[in-house]
């Protein structure tokens, strides 16, 4: 499925997808129990959402037994890419810099995350080594 053909899940559908991506194929009961750890969600609400997601092609369902088991039909990384593209255009006018500034400026970023971000930037642009005498970005945050 190309990026343009990936269904755009709602917030509630994304919550369910997160459960499925983290835990693998799951029953409605399991998904509902996981969602209920964060906020109260009725079983029938979770069931209806999963049924709608199945109709949209967001999840696949194994109904070979009495208890249906759902699994994500969308890959996590591909879905995140579509959502980031949409957010980037809608909220940041297509500016990746504004998105990153907002993301890093709104919460405390751990040293480990900053290190991973630096490694990613080095992979994207390996010709630009950081000067050794530059200030530590951790000290600027």
**Domains annotated on the chain, with CATH:** 3-76 (1.10.10.10), 95-128+135-141 (no CATH)
Spatial contact of 55 and 70, defined as CB atoms under 8 Å apart: no
In whole angstroms, give the CA distance from residue 80 to residue 72: 13
Q: What is the per-residue pLDDT across 7-65, written as a single tens digit (0 to 9) for each?
A: 789 999 999 999 999 999 999 999 999 999 999 999 999 999 999 999 999 999 998 98
- The position carrying tokens 């969308």 is 74
In whole angstroms, give the CA distance from residue 16 to residue 31: 7
Estimate the crossing angle of helix 11-23 against helix 76-92, to 10 degrees.
Answer: 150
What letter would DSSP give residue 69? E
Tokens of 104: 């890093």
Q: What is the per-residue pLDDT across 106-124, written as a single tens digit (0 to 9) for each?
A: 788 889 998 998 999 899 8
């Amino acid at each position: 499925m190309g990026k343009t053909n990936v269904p755009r899940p709602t917030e509630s559908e994304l919550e369910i997808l997160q459960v499925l991506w983290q835990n693998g194929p799951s029953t409605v009961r399991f998904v509902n129990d996981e969602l209920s750890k964060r906020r109260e969600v009725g079983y029938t609400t979770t069931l209806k959402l999963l049924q709608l997601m199945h109709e949209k092609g967001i999840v696949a369902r194994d109904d070979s037994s009495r208890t249906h088991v759902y699994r994500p039909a969308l890959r996590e990384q591909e879905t995140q890419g579509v959502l980031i593209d949409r957010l980037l255009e809608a909220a940041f006018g297509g500016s990746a810099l504004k998105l990153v500034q907002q993301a890093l400026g709104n919460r405390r970023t751990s040293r480990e995350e900053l290190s991973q971000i630096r490694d990613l930037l080095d992979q994207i642009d390996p010709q630009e080594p950081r000067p050794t005498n530059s200030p530590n970005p951790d000290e600027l945050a």
